[in-house]
A = this chain, B = another copy of it.
Amino acid sequence: MKIIELNKSITESNDADAKRLRERLTDEGVVLVNIMSSPGSGKTSFLLKTIADIKDRVPVGVMEADIASSVDAERIEAAGAKSIQMHTDGMCHVDAGMTERALDEMGYKGLRLIFLENVGNLICPAEYDTGAHLNVMLLSVPEGDDKPLKYPLMFSTSDALIITKSDVKDYFSFDEEKCMAAVKRLNPDIETFTVSAKTGEGMASWEEFLTQRLPK
């Protein structure tokens, strides 16, 4: 497992870089999925469960972006997926230039699906196109049902919303119906899934949605 230090991209034109990276990966038959959420929403556990369920069918890689440490990439690598740890030099987001450098540094020959686990942050990552084909955000039950009202941008720009930690629903006053109504007002086309990486609840629907998006 490699660790690379990333900081400000050399180029300022992130949107153009992102478009170019997306086209390059499409040509190569690889799908890039950007996973965003608050710290502690369960991104790594969700990815570990997804990888365990699909890795016999789909070769997967994961790029782990964090301010510091490599605990997530170590967990991913222990689960048998190709992995790289990206350090963002204090920055709270990942852009297309950083994503491309990490992809090239990790190497992805033979992979069909690559996850980018973005920095834990419900604000900044939504402002940068990483070049991903699919933007997926997680919201965990303990965080509360008011988050779409307070952090509208990420809910507006994501292709899919995963409500995580559904196994602890009984211990929190999370009004799923109210939350989903607020999300749909911001983004009527968003796909939604409610899952528990611990019990496996809801994971099959998400994995079907995901694998349908891979090139045949």
Contacts and interface: CB of A to CB of B under 8 A. Distances in A.
Contact of A150 (B69, B146, B150, B153): B69
A150 B67 contact: yes
Interface in A53-89: 66-69, 71-72
Interface string A152-180: 11000000000001011001100000000
B120 A142 contact: no
Contacts of A66: 150
Given A90-B153, A121-B121, A140-B142, A39 B147 contact: yes
Contacts of A69: 146, 149-150
Contacts of A90: 123, 127, 153
B68 A150 contact: yes
A28 interface: no
A197 interface: no
A128 interface: no
Contact of A38 (B39, B124, B171, B172): B39
B168 A120 contact: no
B143 A40 contact: yes
Q: Which 7 A-B pairs have the closest CB atoms?
A: A40-B143, A142-B142, A69-B149, A92-B123, A38-B39, A39-B122, A38-B38
12 contacts: A39-B147, A40-B140, A40-B144, A40-B147, A67-B150, A67-B151, A67-B153, A68-B151, A68-B152, A69-B146, A121-B122, A167-B171
